[in-house]
Amino acid sequence: MANHDIIVVGASAGGVSALTKLVQSFPENLNASVFIVLHTSPVSPGLLPDILSRKGPLKAVHPKDGEEFKKGKIYVAPPDHHLLLERGHVVVKKGPKENHFRPSIDALFRSAAYVYGPRVIGIVLTGMLNDGTSGLWSVKRMGGIAIIQHPDDALFPSMPVSVLEHVTVDHIVTLDKIGQLLNTLVAKRAPKKISISAKEMKLLKMEVVIATHDNAFEMGIMDMGKLTPYTCPECNGALIGITEGASVRFRCHTGHAFTASNLLSGITQTVEERLWDGMRGMEETTMLLNHLGDHYKKAGNKKMASRFFSKAKEIAKRAQIIHDSVLTQQLLSEDVIINQEKMIKPSRDA
């Protein structure tokens, strides 16, 4: 029987600092393989492996697709590519984004849970919104161990807090204590593989495969959840709702996936973009009407010029309404709503 020798780590905002401290706490003889996803820009130069290699005792690399992994080594997801696990090797693919990100924390965690079950230790560190919650839920569902950075120790506590709200966490620790904890956990034998329903296992396998390439519709993803009235912020595709414990998340037929908070953020972002488009169209209309008014004025047709100038003023007033709407439009997410409530409560108590 194997030990807990598969460690998956996810971080977002504040993640470089957190991961640097984390690897510094690793023992030199860590008897496990470590896999890391940090949310980064698609055009990032990909310097994280060099940083982690210099700061900690273990060598970190960007693995190649199909590369066999070894214990005592750190594998970092390359920019704009998902990092997934298969038996004995990694998969590095440019599949559909999850929560607007590629690489995705959830995708890595799900693949580890599907292949290695109770051997997995999942760790969620600092970050905004809630990528990592669904993935860590899968780790626990398959018998693995769930660890989060203590929210008070996180520069951005939203991701650890989200996990606390939806997942039964085994350990809540500060960064400087995680290395020691891992050394203890890795030395222990992993329990037997957990048996889950055939439908759950089918969905888990399907989502792992979807992260490797864009064929969600052909695989039958639309049959794995309840069809919703919402559309995907990435591609405008139809979304299904997938229930995990007390939480719900969403996936479209092309493969993009969202937590409820990330979907809310994406929809409100789309609303703002469309308002800007509307305002641009109204202002272009105003400019064209004034241009035509000037044309007729110069041609000596004052009556036609007056009509176009009058209509231009009318459209300009409508454009101002849209302009005011754009400036008051909010980008919403669970983080934003919670922070707004925190700001409001003191004044109410007063």
Q: State CA 25 to chain mean position distance.
A: 26
Residues 25 and 172 in one domain: yes
Phi, psi of 228 (to 5 degrees): -115, 165
Evaluate whether residue 302 is within a structural domain.
yes
98 vs 82: CA distance, rounded Å: 10
* pLDDT, tens only, 47-79: 999 999 999 999 999 999 999 999 999 999 999
Catalytic site residue 152? no
Residues 177 and 296 in one domain: no
Residue with tokens 């905004």: 128
Let me know if residue 25 belongs to a domain.
yes
Residues 23 and 171 in one domain: yes
For 33, 77, 107, 147, 314, the CA distances from 84, given in Å and listed in that order, are 13, 9, 7, 19, 56
Does residue 334 register a pLDDT over 70? Answer: no
Neighbours of 57 (CB within 10 A): 15
Domain boundary among 131, 159, 186: 186
Does 99 map to a domain? yes
Q: Which of 164, 186, 208 is the last residue of a domain?
A: 186
Q: What is the DSSP letter of 118?
A: G
- Among the options 131, 261, 265, 333, which is catalytic? 131
Clarify whether residues 64 and 166 are in a common domain: yes
Same domain, 172 and 310: no
Structural domain of 127? 6-186
Q: Which amino acid is at 210?
A: I
Give the H/E segment covering residue 232: none
Confidence of residue 330 (pLDDT cuts 50, 70, 90): confident
Out of 12, 158, 247, 333, pick the active-site residue: 12
* Residue 287 host element (H or E): helix 260-298
Least confident range from 13-27, 194-208, 295-309: namely 194-208
CATH code: domain of residue 134: 3.40.50.180
Using CA atoms, how far residue 197 sits from 6, 86, 204, 208, 244, in Å, is 24, 21, 11, 17, 13
Is residue 81 domain-resident?
yes
Is 215's pLDDT higher than 90?
Answer: no
Query: Is there a single domain that holds both residue 22 and residue 139?
Result: yes
Q: Does residue 29 lie in a domain region?
A: yes
| Residue 180 sits in the same domain as residue 297 | no
How many CB atoms within 10 Å of residue 236?
11
pLDDT of residue 216: 78
Clarify whether 131 is annotated catalytic: yes
Nearest to 23 by CA among 45, 50, 4: 50
Region 213-224: mean pLDDT is 80
Residue 229 falls inside a structural domain: no
Q: Domain for residue 59, yes or no?
A: yes
Among 53-57, 230-234, 266-270, 293-297, the range scoring the smallest mean pLDDT is 266-270
* pLDDT of res. 124: 98
174 and 270, same domain (yes or no): no
Same domain, 34 and 124: yes
Tokens describing residue 193: 């593989």
Is 100 part of any domain? Answer: yes
The one catalytic residue in 4, 5, 25, 39 is: 39
Question: What is the Cα–Cα distance from 283 to 270, expressed in whole angstroms?
Answer: 20
Shared-domain flag, residues 176 and 266: no
Instruction: Look at residues 186, 214, 229 and tell me which one is the last residue of a structural domain.
Output: 186
pLDDT of 350 strictly over 90: no
Q: Give 82-125 pLDDT, tens digit per residue.
A: 999 999 999 999 999 998 899 999 999 999 999 999 999 999 99
* pLDDT range class, residue 341, cuts 50, 70, 90: low
The reported pLDDT for the residue numbered 143 is 97
Closest CA to 219 of 210, 232, 227: 210
DSSP string, 39-57: ---TT----HHHHHHHHSS
**Greater model confidence, 247 or 65:** 65
3-state secondary structure of 177: helix
Is the pLDDT reported for residue 346 higher than 50? no
pLDDT band at 219 (very low <50, low <70, confident <90, very high): confident
Q: Is 131 found in the same domain as 12?
A: yes
Other beta carbons within 10 Å of 28: 8
Output the pTM of the full model. 0.83
Q: Within this chain, do residues 279 and 172 fall inside the same structural domain, yes or no? A: no
Q: Total structural domains in the chain?
A: 2
Residue 323 has pLDDT above 90, yes or no: no
Catalytic residue flag (residue 41): no
Amino acid type, 45 = P
Q: What is the mean pLDDT of residues 153-177?
A: 95
